[in-house]
Amino acid sequence: MRYSQPQMQKLIQNNKELQQKLKELMAEHELEKIYAVKALYHAEVADGGKYQKEYRALD
């Protein structure tokens, strides 16, 4: 499975929990949004993550 920023953006838009995690990640680590989205992908989607099925459904 490959990272796709537009696909990840859609997943975040459709999920309030991911929106909150993104905001926390950006604030806690002082990351720009593009880097925080990629970090969120690796933490919550990739390699059997909690949101992997939802991410694949957007493909």
pLDDT in tens, 2-59: 999 999 999 999 999 999 999 999 999 999 999 999 999 999 999 999 999 999 999 8
Residue 57: HSE in the Cβ half-sphere, 13 Å Cα cutoff: 7
In a domain, 59, yes or no: no
CA distance 39 to 25: 8
Can you give the residue range of the structural domain that contains 13? 5-50
In a domain, 36, yes or no: yes
- Structural tokens at position 10: 């859609």
CA distance 18 to 8: 10
Residue 17 phi, psi dihedral angles, 5° rounding: -65, -40
In a domain, 55, yes or no: no
In a domain, 56, yes or no: no
pTM confidence score: 0.90
How many domains does the structure of the chain reveal?
1
Give the pLDDT confidence score for residue 59 in this predicted structure.
Answer: 83
- Torsion-angle region of residue 4: left (phi > 0), alpha (psi -120 to 50) or beta? beta
In a domain, 31, yes or no: yes
Give the pLDDT confidence score for residue 54 in this predicted structure.
Answer: 96
